[in-house]
Amino acid sequence: MLHVALVGNPNTGKSTLFNALTGMRQRVGNYSGVTVERVEGRYQGADGRVVTVLDLPGTYSLSASSPDEEIALGVLLGRAEGLDTPDVVVVVADAQNLERNLFLASQVLELGLPTVVALNQVDAAQAAGLKIDPVELTLELGAPVVATVATKGEGLELLKQAVAKAPSLPRAERRFELPAAAAGALRPLEETLAAGGLGESAAAMEALRLLAVAEPGKHLAGIPGLPAAVARARAEVEAAGLHPRSLEAEARYGWIAGVVERCVTRTATGKRTLTDRVDAVVLHRVGGPLIFVGLMALVFQAIFSWAEPLIGWVEGLFGALGGWAGSALPPGDLSSLVVDGVIAGVGSVLVFLPQITILFLFIGVLEDSGYMARAAFIMDRFMRSVGLHGKSFIPLLSGYACAVPGVMSTRTIENPKDRLATIMVLPLMSCSARIPVYTLLIGAFIPPVAVAGVFNLRGVTLLAMYLLGTVTALAMAAVFKKTLLKGRARPMIMELPPYRLPSVRSLAMSVSHRASLFLRKAGTIILSLSIVLWALATYPKTEAAPGTSEEAAQEAQLAGSVLGRLGHAIEPAVRPLGYDWKIGVGIVSSFAAREVFVSTMGTIYGIGAADESSTSLRDRLRAERDPETGMRAYTPLVAVGLMVFYVFAMMCMSTVAVVVRETGGGWTGVRWASIQFGYMLALAYLSALLVYQGGRLLGLG
């Protein structure tokens, strides 16, 4: 078996090449101890050997200044936990931006590993007037160079052959000379690194890299005397009149300029490319944001409208499955567990899969076409006004569908504080799980009166809930960036790749991987908690009196269950908000997922299988009377306060679990998730209290 690592700059077509090489033979996981996604695949080589391919995170260099770069360097040096040093490294270089891509390639070549350079997107380079000589480039780099067009599958067989032969070829070495004073200053540092277990060539690359970085990186932790050796090398380089932090860049780019001059022939006529012409419109100061808003509106609309038929199909499927299981199993606890616990629990997760898939499909199209980088660029100035990075916008947008994939998509944000701030406010965006709650309460208590002659008060109320969450998310981001996550604002530096048609095959694989990741991480958590809630609502048993209707028996059972008793226990805490114990039970049960509130209220009122459109449930809520005062238990003021509570409260177990993982895992992740849960609960409680008590003072209650 041959182990291959795929490394390259972002937007070089690396993932497309990975998909083209490995097809569907892939599996997705995480690198040990971190949340950076680890994707592996395999193919059978021409000689019959199985070749495993590890798709490393996209990185511009091996400076290890971000989690992705640190992972890439650790894997290539054989210092990543659970992974051996790769047998062959394939550096994917964008032919249109060869000069910049050769910086990473030159670093990898110095590691002393068998290396092949995949010169990708050569067709686009030729269209742009660039002709690159692969043979001359091979001689310059000292490693085989194969021209590829991953989207068309061109050059793949040659690449596989080059990978198979790479271990038997001489290893590449540094192709440029450092100033004599710098080389002398770095020699003791290289010896320190070599004594710490690095090969001679890798130690030379690391020594030069360490002059420019603030921290050595976790992969070098434990090497005796390393900090002192780095400090001495920097001092000697400075004493020689050189700049330690720019020495590597100057040396590498000086050599790269010569390589490009000898290998690249430019035949461009100076005409504007298609990308230039499109960017003139898409990045226009006024038109750009308008186009962006239009595209986002399309995405937003599609998530809710296109998914509806599929959601209905999934609901019908699980309804039929539950009916079949209910008829096949004898009545009793086992049947209830399977139907109400297991099947209903899985269905409550899968019902959101169409929305998640559509969202990931749009994100994939925007990413692969090259527009996503423009979107982040356009939004950067707006996001910076509240202290967030431009890249935060797409995860926040994802939060409208579901916070789980939104939190996961923050991995594209390099700055840890910016990423954390985005994660901390993202659940405030009104996700689709809140819609059943909003719909039930608006339908029951908000009259369908016209507003301004055009709008409906119900629609305006729903819009107000979305705006309230969005504005609060931005405000809380500003608070975090000025307190717990305070840090120097970093300008966004992003390459704008050329526009290209997304590969349908690559897109399908990307969407399926992300969807399966969502199912595996979120589905299991919700399923487990649903079973727990079923047990809490089922035990202890309450015997119904003879002649009691089924609905009344259900209500009595719930009231006497652990969940019901818990509702009575927390009633004093929710009374100031205008809620009784029944709403308290609904709130507690909806910790698994917000929409569980609706079905819980239906069960409480003895209406089996209630949903947000159930007229009976709405009528029962409107008709409910306080047993002590005889007055209406629920009013429009209570309903608005309850909606405000759900706008802010973190009532989603799967989101909590994902936040724990994505903020560092272990106790670090638990601490951030606790802070998030606590501030959102406080915000929800105080806001609902303000709405209810303030409304009463104004005579609205």
DSSP 263-302: HEEE---SPPPHHHHHHHHHT-TTHHHHHHHHHHHHHHHH
Provide the pLDDT confidence category of residue 485 given band limits of 50, 70 and 90.
confident
Question: What does the buried/exposed string (b/e) look like for 518-550 if buried means 16 or more CB atoms within 10 Å of the residue's CB?
Answer: bbebbbebbbebbbebbebbbeeeeeeeeeeee
Please choose, from the candidates 32, 53, 59, the residue with its C-alpha nearest in 3D space to the C-alpha of residue 41.
Answer: 53
Bridge partners of residue 148, in order along the sequence: 120
DSSP 8-class letter at 167: G
pLDDT at site 676? 94
Instruction: Please tell me what DSSP assigns to residue 429.
Output: S
pLDDT at position 152, please? 85
Q: Is the pLDDT of residue 120 over 70?
A: yes
Which has the higher per-residue pLDDT, 39 or 669?
A: 669
Quick one: pLDDT at residue 31?
43
Percent of the chain's residues with pLDDT above 90: 30
Give the separation between CA 258 and CA 265, rounded to whole angstroms.
Answer: 13
The confidence score (pLDDT) of residue 610 equals 45
User: Residue 34: pLDDT above 50?
Assistant: no
Q: What is the C-alpha to C-alpha distance for residues 203 and 185, in angstroms, rounded to an integer?
A: 14
* Alpha carbons 556 and 559: distance in angstroms, whole number: 5
User: Does the pLDDT value for residue 33 go beyond 60?
Assistant: no
Q: DSSP 3-state assignment of 53?
A: strand
More confident residue, 615 or 97: 97
Instruction: Quickly state the pLDDT bin for 318 (edges 50, 70, 90).
Output: confident
- Give yes or no for residue 607 having a pLDDT over 50: no
State mean pLDDT over 101-110: 94
Checking if the pLDDT of 122 tops 70, the result is: yes
From 4-18, 222-236, 546-560, 654-668, the region with the lowest mean pLDDT? 546-560
Confidence of residue 606 (pLDDT cuts 50, 70, 90): very low
Report whether 51 contacts 1 (CB < 8 A): yes
The pLDDT value recorded for residue 251 is 93
Average pLDDT over residues 197-222: 86
Integer Cα distance of 172 and 108 in angstroms: 9
Neighbours of 76 (CB within 10 A): 24
632 has a pLDDT exceeding 70 = yes
Q: Using CB atoms within 10 A of its CB, is residue 354 exposed (0-12), middle (13-18) or buried (19+)?
A: buried
pLDDT score of 524:
64
Kindly indicate the confidence band of residue 384, based on its pLDDT and cuts at 50, 70 and 90.
Answer: confident
Q: What separation, in Å, do the N-terminal and C-terminal C-alpha atoms of the chain show?
A: 73
129-169 pLDDT, tens digit per residue, is 889 999 999 999 999 999 999 888 899 999 999 999 999 99
Helix (H, G, I), strand (E, B) or coil at 428: helix
**Mean pLDDT taken over the chain:** 82
Residue 517 predicted with pLDDT over 90: no
**pLDDT band for position 348 (50/70/90)?**
low
pLDDT tier at 26, thresholds 50, 70, 90: low
Give CA angle at 48 (47, 54), nearest 5°.
Answer: 100
Backbone φ, ψ for residue 149 (5° rounding): -130, 90
Indicate the range of 419-428, 546-555, 691-700 predicted with least confidence: 546-555
Between 68 and 542, residue with greater pLDDT: 542
Report pLDDT for 35.
Answer: 42
0.75 cut: is pTM over it?
Answer: no
pLDDT digits (tens, 9 = 90+) for 77-98: 888 777 788 999 999 999 988 9
6 half-sphere exposure, CB direction, 13 A CA radius: 30
pLDDT surpasses 80 at 39: no
What is the structure's pLDDT at 253? Answer: 93
More confident residue, 145 or 334: 145
pLDDT at 612 over 60: no
Q: What is the pLDDT of residue 518?
A: 64
Alpha carbons within 13 A on the beta-carbon side of 296: 20
Q: Which of 292-296, 430-434, 524-528, 564-568 has maximum average pLDDT? A: 564-568
